[in-house]
Amino acid sequence: MITVLLILIPLLSGIIACFFKDKKVESFALGASILEFILSIYAFFCFKTGNLESLVFNTPWISKFGISFYIDIDGISLLMTLLTTFLIPLIILSARGRNYSKPGLFYGLILAMQAALIGVFVAKDAFLFYIFWELTLIPIYFIILLWGGAEKLKVTFKFFIYTLFGSMFMLLGIIYLYLQTGPDAHTFSIDAFYNLQLSSGTQMWIFWAFFLAFAIKLPIFPFHTWQPDTYTVSPMPGTMLLSGIMLKMGIYGIIRWMIPIVPYAILDKWGGSLAIILCVIGIIYASIIAILQNDFKRLIAYASIAHIGLIAAGVFTLSFEGLQGGVLQMLAHGINVIGLFFIIEIIAERTNTRKLSELGGIRTKAPQLATFFVIIVFSSISIPLTAGFSGEFLLFVGLFKYNFWIAGVACLSIVLGAVYMLYSFQKAMLGNTSEKTSVFQDLKFNEKAVLIPIVILIFLIGIYPKVFLSVSEPAVHTIIQEISNTYTLK
């Protein structure tokens, strides 16, 4: 029942929020999101104490077609749920005090988005997973369309068509797998999908049907072209939702719905091996483009493509280290990128620009902001004892075990990442103040309230990653065992 409440609380709160006409909705939405976070902490304690029955809910929904409302929380989905419930209050808090028209609808869409995201991470029925997957598209579409910047109509249309196109192929794959269950009664249950014995040829086309949906959502090169424009045009809370949480749906989908079902295809040179190559190409390509950016927000958008490419490449190695590193790095990336985009919002609000060439010297005017910024930058480039280090280390271990040369090329991301992140810090924070930064003010109370939890978690993950790795380890072992029992992995 806990898992049901994790979906219902933000959904019902979002509906109620839409009826608010004034800024009181900010406090209501923040309170609802904090309640959701407390409930997710309770789910964590239930998981750690072995009270797993309270985390499962499975009841027939559309019995005629074998569709159940089957939701459950294991270690991987628990970490994704905790990430979502931790970041949503920070996203709402970051938006407080900013003038958004129709604030009730704005915060209602954020809470509805949270409900759909949680649904994606806990669904164990493929039909239900697909429903939640598509539902996440609706709130973010309207957030960008109603409160986005220039060319929002063109950008949102491209974003919607891209993601809907990929989802269509995933739906075809789900329907085919459903028809292979039975023979007496077909079902969309993930357990039935895991038990299917599929030929290598069938696995290959199923792989690409799912991969297109997940690769577009992440995004992976060359399916990335919607992302920089969408991130740039979106209002900052929308960008945070997209980068901090929504793109994790793709990695989660690969781990949950691809690896145990189509391992032969992932090991094939025209399947997972090709996907890893695309990921590595995307890492280098996006890093180089990021270095060339003058728009700070666009720079971080391309940096996100590079970081997600590394996570996906590590996951596709099918190694224990790659999977564990992918899960941990999803947490780190979500925290880091939310912090970076919020700092960009603070700078843009005070200076009316995101151009790095027009900034400079902010450190002398806002030493507190500079301190938070440098910590998040260090975590983004995976300095030891920060959140980005442990996960990236495990990812590279998995890649080196898979292929030395591919891992060697992927390692260039360390150098390139340091170049564009330190460059952005230098241009914004160091040197002499410019006309736009000469009267820059340091952090306000509510801004510190967003950045302090982020920095605390950066050091917690960096210094003691075992807290999080121990949660996902049983689920990762189960996935490895599932495919090892049926297939011989190299």
Give a yes or no: residue 408 inside a domain: yes
For residue 268, give the 3-state DSSP assignment.
coil
Segment 354-375 mean pLDDT: 94
Q: What is the token pair recorded at 348?
A: 């843009």
Give a yes or no: residue 340 inside a domain: yes
3-state secondary structure 145-159: HHHCCCCHHHHHHHH
CA dist 103 to 14, 41, 224, 305, 311, Å?
Answer: 12, 28, 31, 31, 35
Contact 337, 244 (CB under 8 A): yes
Contact 214, 222 (CB under 8 A): no
Residue 134 in this model has a pLDDT that exceeds 70: yes
Give a yes or no: residue 418 inside a domain: yes
Segment 20-29 mean pLDDT: 89
Segment 373-383 mean pLDDT: 95
Give a yes or no: residue 116 inside a domain: no
Segment 101-115 mean pLDDT: 94
Segment 21-36 mean pLDDT: 92
Helix (H) or strand (E) holding 160: helix 152-180
- How many whole angstroms separate alpha carbon 140 and alpha carbon 165? 17
Check residue 98 and give its pLDDT. Answer: 81
Residue 148 binned pLDDT confidence (cut-offs 50, 70, 90) = confident
Residue 157 in this model has a pLDDT that exceeds 60: yes
- In this structure, of 73-77, 125-129, 262-266, the range with the lowest mean pLDDT score is 262-266
Number of domains in the chain: 1
Crossing angle of helices 445-463/367-380, nearest 10°?
30
Cα R_g (the chain), whole angstroms: 22
Residue 486 binned pLDDT confidence (cut-offs 50, 70, 90) = low
| Structural domain harbouring 376 | 269-490
Please give the DSSP secondary-structure letter assigned to residue 189.
B
Average pLDDT, the chain: 92
Residue 489 binned pLDDT confidence (cut-offs 50, 70, 90) = very low
Residue 281 in this model has a pLDDT that exceeds 80: yes
Residue 199 in this model has a pLDDT that exceeds 90: no
pLDDT digits (tens, 9 = 90+) for 41-77: 999 999 998 888 889 999 999 888 889 999 999 999 9
pLDDT digits (tens, 9 = 90+) for 442-471: 999 999 999 999 999 999 999 999 999 999
> What residues have CB less than 8 Å from 71, skipping those under 6 apart?
3, 4, 7, 56, 57, 58, 119, 122, 123, 124, 125, 128
Residue 487 binned pLDDT confidence (cut-offs 50, 70, 90) = low
Residue 483 in this model has a pLDDT that exceeds 60: yes
Map tokens 């989802």 to a residue: 167
Amino acid at 16: I
Check residue 448 and give its pLDDT. Answer: 94
The alpha carbon torsion through 233, 239, 241, 247 (nearest 10 deg) reads: 90
Q: What is the token pair recorded at 204?
A: 């290959």
Give a yes or no: residue 280 inside a domain: yes
pTM for the model stands at: 0.94
Phi-psi domain of 444 (left: phi exceeds 0; alpha: psi -120 through 50; beta: other): beta
Segment 332-360 mean pLDDT: 94
Segment 349-357 mean pLDDT: 92
Residue 21 in this model has a pLDDT that exceeds 90: no
Residue 431 in this model has a pLDDT that exceeds 90: no
Give a yes or no: residue 395 inside a domain: yes
CA dist 35 to 8, 86, 93, 95, 189, Å?
Answer: 12, 11, 14, 18, 30
- In this structure, of 160-169, 292-301, 308-317, the range with the lowest mean pLDDT score is 160-169
Cis peptide before 183 (omega within 30 of 0): yes
Residue 485 in this model has a pLDDT that exceeds 80: no
Residue 490 binned pLDDT confidence (cut-offs 50, 70, 90) = very low
Give a yes or no: residue 490 inside a domain: yes
Give a yes or no: residue 217 inside a domain: no
